[in-house]
Amino acid sequence: MYRFLLMICTLLFLLPGSQLLAGDSPQEQRHELMEQSKDAAKPVGGMLKGEMEFNAATAMASFESWATVAGEFGKLFPEGTETGYDTEAKKEIWTDRAGFEVELAKFDEAVSRAIAANPQSLDELKAAAGPVFKSCKSCHEAYRVEKE
């Protein structure tokens, strides 16, 4: 009986912690947004590599998806979320927030320009998407832990 109670207490103790990470914790939300970025990158990358036919509407849908990410991503790094949910966020996001904001702004600008360019050909898509992919890469180099 004592053991049983102890177990319940332990479970109750663990619960708030696990709830913190369940569903919509910032760690999980930012992971979801990056998954969304990857999904949006797939068709654009496919077109650029010639594995998929150019489609202006599909490309624009990817740009719009990135625009949503650019608007939300920066809000998901509050103090206390440096770890958890197997995060790949580097501690530099918290120690060098200004630098991280610069990367976010570069991404946001590249995406806005791509939307404004509204590419209608593969060449135009190359010109529009290139800077976006560059900004994914430069932010990852500085602020994402590579776990391969």
CB of 38 to ligand HEC, least distance (A): 4
CB of 81 to ligand HEC, least distance (A): 8
Stretch that binds ligand HEC, among 17-25, 50-58, 119-127, 130-138 (CB under 6 A): 130-138
Asked if 103 and 143 touch (Cβ cutoff 8 Å), the reply is yes
Under the binding rule (CB under 6 A), the answer on residue 38 touching ligand HEC is yes
For ligand HEC, the closer of residues 56 and 144 by Cβ is 144
Under the binding rule (CB under 6 A), the answer on residue 126 touching ligand HEC is no
Which residues, in sequence order, are CB contacts of 23 under 8 Å at separation 6+?
none
CA–CA gap between residue 11 and residue 99 (Å, rounded): 41
CA–CA gap between residue 11 and residue 83 (Å, rounded): 22
Residues of span 57-76 touching ligand HEC by CB under 6 A: 66
Under the binding rule (CB under 6 A), the answer on residue 88 touching ligand HEC is yes
Under the binding rule (CB under 6 A), the answer on residue 107 touching ligand HEC is yes
CA–CA gap between residue 103 and residue 27 (Å, rounded): 19
Applying CB under 6 A, among 59, 103, 114, 119 the residue interacting with ligand HEC is 103
Asked if 27 and 85 touch (Cβ cutoff 8 Å), the reply is yes
CA–CA gap between residue 145 and residue 148 (Å, rounded): 9
CB of 91 to ligand HEC, least distance (A): 11
Q: Give me the residues that bind ligand HEC (CB under 6 A), please.
A: 27, 30-31, 34-35, 37-38, 41, 66, 87-89, 103-104, 107, 132, 135-136, 139-140, 143-144
